Amino acid sequence: MTQSHGVRIEQFGGPQAMRYGPIEVREPGEGELAVAVAAAGVNFIDTYQRSGLYPLELPATLGMEGAGTVSAVGAGVSEFAVGDAVAWLDVQGSYARDVVVPAARAVPVPPGLDPRTAAAAMLQGVTAQYLTTDTFAVSAGQTVLVHAAAGGVGLLLVQLCVAAGARVIGTAGSPDKADLARGAGAHEVILYREEDVVAGVERLAGRRAVDVVYDGVGQATFAADLEVLRPRGMLVSFGNASGPVEPVAPLRLATSGSLFLTRPMLGHYVAKTDELRTRSAAVLGMVERRHLDIRIGAVHPLDQVVTAHEALEQRRTTGKVILTS
């Protein structure tokens, strides 16, 4: 065991359930890497795990994503060596100074990328990548609605949809956030705390004119999504920032225009190492070539994690939130 520091929960609860302090991290086993974490990414899923919406075995060290430097390699690892820069997106325990990462879940960080940017690009970047290419292949001339367009995933979705030639309508919780979404390329932004989403989309694009809705907000926006999609359009419900969506009867999809509804999860799009590496390389490559802008909205030291979660849940963040060791 190695003595380290990290963010633990002993029971599910609000941000105050998290404690930063000493933790023990085991040595890397066969096929694993020990990594000194330089930057850990904060994701909305971390709040679901902390609250128990997505239960973890307790006690647990939080955090799924990060970037850092390999400090030791376990038996049988040949593709990475001590000193290599790596990043990852689905390794529990990343809110820590040290973490054990399976070599098969690590991706090399291109030399031009700093660890904060690499960590910030991974989970939300790969999510935006698979949502816009495989869940629904966005193409030129389509109209796309992106909720929470100034958020971590939102700003990346906007950029990828615009790059694909689509017309992008975003939603945002404040005028400042709307400016950020427009800066990322959104053609129009609805301030959905002030204007009804259905009325806003009709005003901007017409009745039932949206080809695909990307909705990570969940409960608060789901009903409107069904009203703005064109016949046979697709509702991609990929998150629950405002709470989980209530059950929906299949017949509702029929009467709303033979709609498609999917509830994708990142894990099913990166289950195989090849797929993880291909998607990550695509995202990190776009970032390196400056085709994808990663906006880091806040950086906190690990011991300020409570502040970071409070801000995220109270809709006070934009882009990516990073924790540093």
Instruction: Give min distance, CB of 315 to ligand NDP, in A.
Output: 4
Comparing CB distances to ligand NDP, the nearer of 115 and 154 is: 154
Which one of 160-168, 196-204, 260-268, 270-278 is the stretch in contact with ligand NDP (CB under 6 A)?
A: 260-268
Three-state SS string across the chain, please? CEEEEEEEECCCCCHHHEEEEEEEECCCCCCEEEEEEEEEEECHHHHHHHHCCCCCCCCEECCCEEEEEEEEECCCCCCCCCCCEEEECCCCCCCECEEEEEHHHCEECCCCCCHHHHHHHHHHHHHHHHHHHHHCCCCCCCEEEECCCCCHHHHHHHHHHHHCCCEEEEEECCHHHHHHHHHCCCCEEEECCCCCHHHHHHHHHCCCCEEEEEECCCCCCHHHHHHHEEEEEEEEECCCCCCCCCCCCHHHHHHCCCCEEECCCHHHHCCCHHHHHHHHHHHHHHHHCCCCCCCEEEEEEHHHHHHHHHHHHCCCCCCEEEEEC
**How far is 91 from 303, CA to CA, in rounded Å?**
20
**Residues 44-83: x where in contact with ligand NDP by CB under 6 A, - otherwise, as a string:** xx--------------------------------------
Q: Which residue in the set 56, 198, 220, 234 belongs to the binding site for ligand NDP (CB under 6 A)?
A: 220
State the nearest-atom distance from the C-beta of 257 to ligand NDP, in Å: 24
> Which of residues 61 and 124 has its CB atom nearest to ligand NDP in the complex?
124
Measured from the Cβ of residue 146, the count of other Cβ atoms closer than 10 Å reads 34
How many residues at the interface with ligand NDP, by CB under 6 A? 30
Nearer to ligand NDP, 206 or 243 (CB): 243
Dihedral sign of CA atoms 280, 183, 153, 11 in order: positive
Residue 239 interacting with ligand NDP (CB under 6 A): yes
Strands 2-9 and 18-25, by their bridges, are: antiparallel
**Applying CB under 6 A, which part among 38-46, 199-207, 225-233, 275-283 lies near ligand NDP?**
38-46
List the one residue from 12, 92, 264, 304 that touches ligand NDP (CB under 6 A): 264
127 binds ligand NDP (CB under 6 A): yes
Q: Which of 5, 277, 295, 315 binds ligand NDP (CB under 6 A)?
A: 315
Name which of 71 and 324 has its Cβ closer to ligand NDP.
324
Determine the Cα–Cα distance for residues 26 and 109; give it in Å rounded to an integer: 24
* Candidate residues 137, 254, 265, 271; the one interacting with ligand NDP per rule CB under 6 A: 265
- Within residues 154-173, the interface with ligand NDP by CB under 6 A covers 154, 172-173
Compute the least distance from the CB of residue 100 to ligand NDP, in Å. Answer: 23
Task: Work out which of 122, 217, 261, 302 binds ligand NDP, going by CB under 6 A.
Answer: 217
User: Binding segment for ligand NDP among 88-96, 195-203, 234-242, 274-282 (CB under 6 A)?
Assistant: 234-242
Residue 43 lies near ligand NDP (rule: CB under 6 A): yes
Residues that bind ligand NDP (CB under 6 A): 43-45, 123-124, 127, 148, 150-154, 172-173, 177, 216-217, 220, 238-242, 264-266, 312-313, 315, 317
